[in-house]
Amino acid sequence: MSQNSPELVSIRPAEVGEAGLILDMIRELADYEKLLHEVTATEQDIRATLFGEDRRAEALLVCVADEPAGFAIFFHNYSTFLGKNGLYLEDVYVRPEFRHQGVGKAILKHLAGIAKDRDCGRFEWAVLDWNQPAIRFYKSMSARPQKDWTVYRLDRNGIEKLADGVNP
């Protein structure tokens, strides 16, 4: 297993002209997670939501020796118990040819630095329960699963029904 030297791994905010690249990697991630059929985002959606005037999330591009190796998309949430913002990692992806080379660790370290600089009280993310390689990796970073919490979700149809007062 080779380790990339830190000078070969670069992490920076993604730029609007890279919206297509980010979308391509989102599709690669979704394919890995067996969820490609759920990706409906377009390049225009990515441009508007990650780089537009009203953006609510941020994207990082990770390169190894100037080759796009992965991305991370994150945003701030809020903890009422702590009275502080948190950093929520929505997606992190490292392309297969760059795995096991320190790239994922570099991304998490970079994000932890952002959380520290922004005085966040938490840094959180979710992982599919079948993704044992990711779970092992996160545990190796001292991350702990939150066993007492279950994530609930309304899809767009559920949002509309609830907002309109219609029982789903």
pLDDT for the residue 15: 98
Q: Is 88 a catalytic residue?
A: no
Catalytic residue chosen out of the listed positions 32, 88, 138, 152: 138
pLDDT for the residue 168: 56
Burial (Cβ within 10 Å: 0-12, 13-18, ≥19) of residue 96: exposed
The Cβ of residue 68 has, within 10 Å, a number of other Cβ atoms equal to 17
The CATH code that applies to domain 6-163 is: 3.40.630.30
Tokens of 126: 């979710």
Q: What are the pLDDT tens digits along the chain (168 aa)?
A: 345 555 699 999 999 999 999 999 999 999 999 999 999 999 999 999 999 999 999 999 999 999 999 999 999 999 999 999 999 999 999 999 999 999 999 999 999 999 999 999 999 999 988 989 898 989 988 899 888 888 888 888 888 999 998 875
pLDDT for the residue 142: 87
Give me the residue spans of the domains in the chain.
6-163
pLDDT for the residue 2: 46
Q: Which of 163, 84, 88, 83 is nearest to 127 (CA)?
A: 88
